[in-house]
């Protein structure tokens, strides 16, 4: 059964996905739709409420996205945020003008007396996060101004009769400490939506949908060892049992213990049938002599497709397979321009680019979920924490963390260094405080060192700890100095080919999380 849905109307906001996630944290299902979606299409989707996002434009610029006033005559509850607040005001006859001086960052919001459903009972003055160069200077007829700031006389307004409201600030970001409560009040109190989007409901609804789609058919799932494919497989296994066969390709570019983790922990937790393919020698042979990062990716992707296809043929010789399980997440759908219809199989997925003549119907049980929701579902399904909270790991594996040619010896060196870093982060209790910590081997670089009584010419390794919510942007994680010291000491003592450990302190942008 389709849960009540809130549509986040995206006007180019950098926070559109964050808004959708915050709505779901209030236990209400949400989806993102483009800002130019016609009112008729919005109404046809029967949303329980709408949230108009922020955006980079000025509402009075000639090419700025606009809001059709008809939207506010549909009876659908609407909340406008930042640009959406201004576009809403303008569409309803209010006035928007340039500030003269912009209001960016932390700002004090001052409440204007009572009568506010969104802000009632909150501190009379409290911090919010602003980011605007225009302001609403006159609220539309029928609205009550409920808050102001130093540079915005109209920083929030409400029309309870029509269930319309708006705020100039960004309640979805952590810098607005009462923002989640404001969103919750709009969803539950203004829009009247009963919270019901829970982990248990997600699992039940997904299992029902998979059973309806697959019926008595057979499905295959390419396991990578990562949380997305593991949770997707666990959900499908719960739905159709032995009708699912999982395929795990060991391409030799995995981190220490990952094959064993899949073969032991995943199978023990789910009871799924697992077909493992040992393709380590094949991948090493195909990668011999290649140093260009893009060529590496192409070779790894090509070989994976061939190996996976061969494994699928082996499974299909025993039973007809009509369905392919993919761990596609909702951000993948949004970034592919999707949201409805069949999703593109993105090239960064482990089974990306499969030949069309395989003729599988896609089963995408995580298609509506964000990463944090996937982790909660995995925990509820009983998957071990080592899988549920595993750091993101690229499909090409360690192959793109070796700068230079990939050899068995270099893979062993990087695998040992990476294992030490993961052990120390776990020991320090920081596994969930960082998004991921790639360890990069500069295989084509040698640095002079002194170990024992002699000079050495070993390789440097780079630590790349980063913090992020969605990997679209990231900042380097400030790890404790004593932890960095332990990691450096262990690596240079225990990994023979490494005599120097360096720390990457570049944010994204301008850098990327991975080096290649």
User: Going by C-beta distance under 8 Å and a sequence separation of 6 or more, which residues neighbour residue 62?
Assistant: none
Catalytic annotation, pick one of 172, 258, 373, 424? 172
| 471 vs 123: CA distance, rounded Å | 34
| 358 vs 361: CA distance, rounded Å | 9
What kind and span of H or E run contains 427?
A: helix 408-427
Give me 499's structure tokens: 């005599």
Bridge partners of residue 325, in order along the sequence: 221, 363
User: Going by C-beta distance under 8 Å and a sequence separation of 6 or more, which residues neighbour residue 367?
Assistant: 328, 329, 330, 333, 343
111: preceding bond cis by omega (within 30 degrees)? no
What kind and span of H or E run contains 33?
A: strand 29-34
Catalytic annotation, pick one of 82, 112, 246, 437? 82
Catalytic annotation, pick one of 119, 132, 170, 459? 170
- For residue 221, indicate whether it is catalytic: no
What number of other Cβ atoms are within 10 A of residue 202's Cβ?
A: 23
Q: Is 460 in contact with 445 (CB distance < 8 Å)?
A: yes
Burial 48-69 (b: 16+ CB within 10 A, else e): bbbbbbbbebbbeeeebbebee
Give me 25's structure tokens: 């944290």
Q: How many CA atoms lie within 13 A of 312 on its CB side?
A: 24
Q: What strands, in cross-sheet order, belong to the sheet with 244-250? A: 273-278, 244-250, 219-223, 323-325, 361-363
Q: Is 329 in contact with 346 (CB distance < 8 Å)?
A: no
Q: What is the dihedral of CA 384, 325, 18, 227, to 10 degrees?
A: 20
- For residue 459, indicate whether it is catalytic: no
What kind and span of H or E run contains 461?
A: strand 454-463
509: preceding bond cis by omega (within 30 degrees)? yes
| 33 vs 42: CA distance, rounded Å | 9
| 250 vs 279: CA distance, rounded Å | 6
Question: The tokens 């101004």 sit on which residue?
Answer: 145
| 55 vs 87: CA distance, rounded Å | 10
Among residues 140, 160, 162, 10, the alpha carbon closest in space to that of 74 is found at 162
Q: Is 57 in contact with 10 (CB distance < 8 Å)?
A: no
Active site residues: 82, 170, 172
């Amino acid at each position: 059964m389709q849960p009540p849905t809130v549509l986040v109307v995206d006007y180019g906001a950098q926070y559109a996905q964050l808004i959708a996630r915050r709505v779901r944290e209030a236990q209400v299902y949400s989806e993102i739709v483009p800002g130019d979606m016609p009112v008729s299409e919005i109404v046809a989707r029967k949303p329980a409420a709408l949230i108009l996002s922020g955006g980079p434009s000025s509402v009075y610029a000639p090419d700025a996205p606009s809001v059709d006033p008809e939207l506010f005559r549909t009876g659908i509850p609407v909340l406008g945020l930042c640009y959406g607040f201004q576009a809403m005001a303008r569409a309803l006859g209010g006035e928007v003008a340039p500030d003269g001086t912009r209001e960016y960052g932390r700002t004090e919001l001052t409440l204007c007396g009572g009568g506010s459903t969104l802000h009632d009972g909150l501190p009379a003055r409290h911090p919010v996060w602003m980011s605007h160069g225009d302001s609403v200077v006159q609220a539309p007829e029928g609205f009550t101004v409920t808050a102001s700031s130093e540079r915005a006389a109209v920083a929030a307004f409400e029309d309870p009769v029509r269930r319309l409201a708006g705020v100039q600030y960004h309640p979805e970001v952590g810098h607005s400490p009462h923002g989640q409560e404001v969103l919750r009040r709009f969803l539950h109190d203004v829009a009247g939506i009963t919270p019901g989007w829970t982990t248990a409901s997600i699992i039940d609804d997904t299992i029902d949908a998979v059973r309806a789609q697959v019926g008595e058919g057979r499905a295959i799932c390419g396991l990578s060892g990562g949380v997305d494919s593991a949770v997707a497989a666990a959900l499908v296994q719960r739905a159709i049992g032995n009708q699912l066969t999982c395929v795990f390709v060991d391409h030799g570019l995995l981190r220490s213990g990952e094959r064993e983790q899949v073969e032991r922990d995943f199978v023990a937790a789910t009871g799924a049938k697992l077909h493992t393919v040992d393709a380590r020698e094949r991948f090493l042979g195909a990668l011999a002599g290649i140093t260009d990062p893009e060529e590496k990716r192409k070779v790894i992707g090509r070989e994976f497709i061939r190996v996976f296809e061969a494994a699928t043929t082996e499974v299909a010789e025993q039973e007809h397979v009509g369905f392919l399980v993919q761990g596609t997440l909702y951000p993948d759908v949004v970034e592919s321009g999707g949201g409805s219809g069949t999703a593109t199989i993105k090239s960064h997925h482990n089974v990306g680019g499969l030949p069309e003549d395989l003729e599988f119907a896609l089963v995408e049980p995580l298609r509506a979920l964000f990463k944090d929701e996937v982790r909660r579902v995995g925990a509820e399904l009983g998957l071990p924490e080592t899988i549920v909270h595993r750091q993101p790991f690229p499909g090409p594996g360690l192959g793109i963390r070796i700068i230079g040619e990939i050899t068995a010896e270099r893979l062993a060196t990087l695998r040992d260094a990476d294992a030490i870093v993961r052990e120390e982060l776990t020991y320090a209790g920081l596994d969930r405080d960082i998004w991921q910590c790639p360890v990069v081997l500069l295989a084509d670089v040698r640095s002079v060192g002194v170990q024992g009584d002699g000079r050495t010419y070993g390789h440097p390794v780079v630590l790349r700890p980063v913090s992020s919510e969605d990997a679209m942007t990231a900042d380097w994680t400030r790890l404790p100095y004593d932890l960095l010291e332990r990691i450096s000491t262990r690596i240079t003592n225990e990994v023979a080919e490494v005599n120097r450990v360096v720390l990457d302190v570049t944010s994204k942008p301008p850098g990327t999380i991975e080096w290649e």
